[in-house]
Amino acid sequence: MKLARRFVFYGHANAYSGWLYRPEHLNVSSAASAALSPTGGDVEASQKRQRFGPYLTVGAARAGARGRFDKRRDAVAASHGRCGEDELTATTDCTVDIEDIRLDEARFRVKHLRAGLVSKSPAIGKESPVRLARDTFLKGVSIDGFELAVTIDTKSFGEHDTFDKVLKHLKRHAPVFEQHDRLIYTTVATKVKWVGRAHPDATIEGHILRVANFGRIYFGELFVEESMRRLTLMRAHLGSPIGAQIGFGNVGTNGSWYPPT
């Protein structure tokens, strides 16, 4: 049996998830999570404020994943068999929006976080272009009342939308760059700095905030593969006195034709 060539959608958006390991063992999860089926669709989910003991409070959160063919009339024509699905183009958007994150009795706060990725269907023999959404940001970041500004490079990661383009850009400009064959680890947070006075017990190392008797916060972590991106806009790795790993603003997308070319 020979299958007709079709586009296989993929996309997920998760507001936050992870584990609190100590002093209690808690599953930190959000109902604001969305994932596409291979046929695409428009999936949205939201979550009201949640509290996980004194360790974490998160305000309203929303997640959405949308995969669709760009021109409805072409999709209608394909549904009638008047053209093949591989003559169509498709777009996938995955977005997370979170308000008022408070960690460790509100020592660490983020007033607003938004993360997004957008992918397009590839031309025959090419990879799917994937770009960072232009409205990706972190606002109102602070630790113990000391404020931080986190700069997200939406321009570069919007323009450089293929693996080779990203690779060329990162080799010249990346504050963080690790490559393992066709897998890259980097950050979309090109600058993390204090607004005013610096915290006396904290240091900034690239995209990482380290705070004594608290833990580490990673900003803008991005995994890049051919036709695939996976972004965690903020990851908390708490070590003392709380033990936890929690990712916020998790989105991933790609798309591919089947059978492949």
Which residues, in sequence order, are bridge partners of residue 52? 56
Which tokens is 256 given? 């591919």
User: What per-residue confidence (pLDDT) applies to 175?
Assistant: 82
Is 150 in contact with 219 (CB distance < 8 Å)?
Answer: yes
Span 194-253, pLDDT tens digits: 999 999 999 999 999 999 999 999 999 999 999 899 999 999 999 988 999 999 999 999
Is 193 in contact with 201 (CB distance < 8 Å)?
Answer: no
* pLDDT beyond 90 at 5: no
Which residues, in sequence order, are bridge partners of residue 74? none
Which three-class secondary structure state does DSSP give residue 92? strand
User: What per-residue confidence (pLDDT) applies to 126?
Assistant: 86
Residue with tokens 């003559």: 87
CB-count exposure of residue 140 (10 Å: 0-12, 13-18, 19+): middle
Q: Would you place residue 26 in the very low, low, confident or very high pLDDT band (cuts 50, 70, 90)?
A: very high
Which three-class secondary structure state does DSSP give residue 167? helix
